[in-house]
Structure formats: C-alpha cells, structure tokens
Structure 1
Amino acid sequence: MTTQLKQNNEPLLEVNGLKKYFPVKNQLGQKSAFVKAVDDVSFKLYEGKTLGLVGESGCGKSTTGRSLLRLIEPTSGSALFEGKDIFKLKGKELREARQDLQMVFQDPFSSLNPRKRIGEILEEPLKIHNLGSSAERTEKVMDILHKVGLNVDHYYRYPHEFSGGQRQRIVLARALILNPKIIVCDEPVSALDVSTQAQIVNLLRGLQEELKLTYLFIAHDISVVRHISDQIGVMYLGNIVEYADTDNIFAEPLHPYTQALLSAVPKSSPTAVRERIVLKGEIPSPLNPPSGCVFHPRCPMATELCSKEIPVNKEARPGHFVKCHLY
C-alpha cells in the first residue's frame, strides 16, 4: 500500500497551523483558561493517498478531523482545499464544499438515526443537496449498498437490526453517497473485533482504489494504521511530533514517543525479542501543557533544553519530519 510520494505533486488538502482551544470558565462564567486540544498542527493530504494520524486517546486526533470538516470551529489556522480555505467558507460555498468532505464516525450506532430505515438515512444527504429525482436517489442508494458489501433488502431495515461491522459499512455508504474527494475516518475500526477490522480496512482500500478516494485515517492502533496509510503523523498532546512515509516511520522512528509506540506493537513471531519502552508518568493536561517540548516530562532522553525551548519541525531525513531537540 505504501508508496513514496513525489514532492512536486500538489496536495489536495494543505493544513497549516491548525489550532483548536476550548475555553474553560470559572464560577463567575468568565473565561479563565483554555484547553489546547490541537496546537499548531500542519500536514498535507495527497489525492488518492491516505494519511494516518495516530496517538494516545486525548491527543487531539478526532478534534483535528472534526475541525477540518467544520463540525467544530477551529481557533486559528488554514486548510486549503482546491485553492479555497475551508475555514473561511460560509453559506452556500461551505455547503458545496461539504459534498467533497465527508466523515466516518467511530461509533456507527450513535451516528445513525434509530427511527429511520437505512434507505432513508442514505438518501437524506442527496435530498439536502437537491441531487436527483426520487427514483434516481433510490437507485444511487442501491448501488452504494452493493459497493460496501450489503444487500438490497437492507434498504428497508433499521440500524438496530445490523451488527457492528454492518453498521460501519452503512456509515461508510452514507459518506460515499455524495461522491466525496476526501473522507475523514475517525477511528472507524476501534469498536470492532479483529476479523471485522480486517474486513473494513480491506473494504476501505478497495474503495480507495476504485473511486480514487483520499483518506485522513485516525486511529490509536499504529499497527492498523500501517496497513492502510501512505504517510503517518504521530500526535502527542495536540502536536504532530513526527511525520513521514509509513515505511520510514516503521524502519527508523526518530521521536522517542514514536519509538515507544512501536515497541508496544506485538511481534508476529513468538520467538522475536523486542525491548519494550515503558513511558513513566501520566499524559499532562492540555489545560496546562508543559513548557518546552510537551513530551519532555515522560521522555527517557530529555535534556535541560527540552524543558525550556519548544522544538521546531525539522526535516531530519528526506521527507521525514520530527519535532525533537535530538535532531
């Protein structure tokens, strides 16, 4: 799956300096502080490729995805899609852009209306955007159900009649119904068992090849991300600390946090030996992040400089970026 990206290709989506701060109010209702959920995140998405965002729970992965789709409003930054900044679009322009930007949510059951049949749920986006006649919409839904591996008779059933894997296919069908260019997959397999995870990942890859889709794939399991991503961004406390092609991340992880993540991945061979890197302490609160490098309180290689100065994003190897004072 992994391919070396050509640097002269124009990205389909270019995100620069994305920040999302949630205000915290005191007992008087006044803003007293901010939770820095996403703090200066930048990356590029290339057409037909997949960027995997990986990190521990609470690091800002899902907030990044939701901010890109304007499900929550970003605090600052830009997201250039086909020459337009998504964060500046309003009204009709934003409505039109949302046809090209869709999302697959982590919990498929809570994102499906339990009172509506699957056919109604899948036709709703087409109605909202005034696309096609009633017969054309039904035909489109039948076709998309087939593409995601469901039967035509599923059109008439309700969400509670399906398994978790089938519901995830329905949510994927809803994201595909408008022929989007980019799909944000927010931990789409984390609630599924291993065999069903493999089926959904293979389905995503097959659809990407067939429909020329571009994915932002968010997950906390780096081994799952490896199988679908062309590039990986490793997030920690609202920051992307390492960013490179998937092969480079696994062959030569540079950031101590990435090294710790990879050390926790089980080996396929029972005789293989890998030294486990155990991080000490708890993840700091995004309400009061550490000074300097946000990872330094838990980093086994931290120096005095790490606690004082924020590391810049450096290209330590060709196409391999890292925020660390070791490089």
Structure 2
Amino acid sequence: MTAVQAPPSASEVLARCRDLVRPALREAVERLHPWVAEMAGYSFGWCEVGGAPAAAPGGKGVRQALAVLGAEAAGADGRAGVPAAVAVELVHAFSLLHDDIMDGDPTRRRRPAVWKVYGTGPAVLAGDALFALAVEILAATPQGAGAVRLLSTALADLVRGQADDLLFATRPCSGPERVTPEEYRSMAEGKTGALLGCAAALGAVLGGADEPTARALDRAGRHLGVAFQLVDDVLGLWGDPAVTGKPVGGDLRERKMTYPVLAALGSPRAGGLPELLGSPERAAEAAALVEAEGGRTAALAEARAHTAAARALLARAPLAGDSAGDLFRLLDHLVDREL
C-alpha cells in the first residue's frame, strides 16, 4: 500500500521558493557597481563589510515565495515567476534600507544596519540602485510594460502607507484628530500589503494568468500584508528579541500608533497611556497597560480576520494545481509566527 505523502509545510514552501530564486537574485545583484553590490550583499546576509562571505540571517523570502506561487497558481512552472520574485525582493530590500534610516534603527536581523556600517548616503544610494535594478528586470520580461505598471502602483501605495505611518506618531491620542482603526488598515495595506499583493499578482501575470486571477491574488496579498503588519506590531511589543531580531518596546519609545496601542487607547481605563508613549524609561509599563486593556487580543483578532479574508479570495479564484494549498499554509504560518 502506497503511503500518502504529507503536504509540504510552510517552511518547506518558503525554502523551495528561496532555492529557486536565489541564483537569479545573486546574479542580478552582481550586475551593480561592486561597492553597491557589496552593500546589497551585506543587507541580504551574504557577506560581511568588506565583502568577505557570510551566512548571516536573511529574510524569510515571503515576497519571492508569493511570486513563485503566483506563477504556479496560473498553471505555469514556478520558474516563470522568478523575475517577479527577484524584482519584489530587490524592492523590499530597497524599502528596508530606507526604512532603517527614517526610523533611526541601528540593527536589522541582529546585525548593524547598512546605514550604521556604510553611512547614510551610501545606504540611500544602495537602496536607489536596488529599486532601479528591479524596474530593469521587469521591463525585460515579455509582459514588461504591464509588469512595471503593477510595480509602480504598488510602490505608490507603499510610499503613501509609509508617509501615513510616520505622520501617525504626530497625531494626538484622543479627540477627533486621533488615528482611527480604519486609517491604520489603510496604512498597513499600503506599507506592507501593497508589495505582498504585487508579488503574487506579478508572478501570476508572468505565468500567463488572466486579469481576474491576478487581481484576486493582489487583493489576497494585501489582506495578508495587513495581517502581517498586525503580527509585527504584536511582536514589537511582546516578542522575544532573540527570535525577532528587534528591540522590544521600540514602537512605544517612538510613539508609533500601532494597532495594539490604538485598541488600548479606545478603552475608558487607559487614561494614563498617552503619557507613557514616547518614554524610553516607561516602555515596559506602557506595554503592560496596552495588554491589560485588550490591545494584544484585538490586534491578533484583526490579523486573523484579514487572513480569513485572504483565504476567501483565494478559495474563489481558479488557482491551478497545489498552489492554493501552499498559499493557505503560508498565510497561516505568517500570522501564527513566534506568537
């Protein structure tokens, strides 16, 4: 009797897609100016400062996996989505280089951030080079014009979301000008969801999908992005820095209007929370109050609601082969990570 083979885990799906994309990603980066390529390689964890080989922690490869799975969802071989995967991974790296500068974050994935070791100007330059390279790669595909339009739309939404995220910290904690949950969702969809949705849609387009299928994948990816950002918010307040690579309480010290904070501020018993936000010395006290007033529970419930919305979109789309199962496993993995 033939044993039934278990479906791949989300970690195995991510590893398979990374292995497929990595050679093309390295080849693309090597086309850059050597100094810029070194900074890019450092940001990906491939090398140390100076170019010596390294095996530092890199990203999970979520966006590149979505691009590969998008191509497979269209009935194509996953290799058809590799140019999309490379492009979105380059854009993601570009956004992280610039985000670390804007936020003043000194570390990224438990290493000094690029701007801390190479300087702010060089880090900006490296980010710009990665963005330009991403556009070049997509423009060279047979679907070049449409693919670049998809990426441009996602980038415009990403910038809009990033701008809102920065401005939210200047808004009052109460009254008619306070940040609303609806504004947060719009910000998270742009800042995080736009590129996730773009990755899946780009992979599908390069795999020959029709417009409704690509659009469904884009919408599902955007819901996933909101869920992903919500879980990041939770990990930023209560996660283990040894696992997340991020200093706990950093968002509170920067007075970021994350969803747990917004939910807690809506509680009538959270009157002392505004004076704790932005205080490095009282970050732990603020985190405890946010949790006591339901901020953590509300954020996780909202994340699972967006995951359910993404699943519903994928269930209705005409996806080929086993791609739907791989996408569902990836959704659940990203929301339940390290909680």
- TM-score in terms of structure 2 length: 0.28
Task: Specify which structure has the bigger relative contact order, considering alpha-carbon pairs within 8 angstroms and separated by 6 or more residues.
Answer: 1
Higher strand fraction: Structure 1 or Structure 2?
1
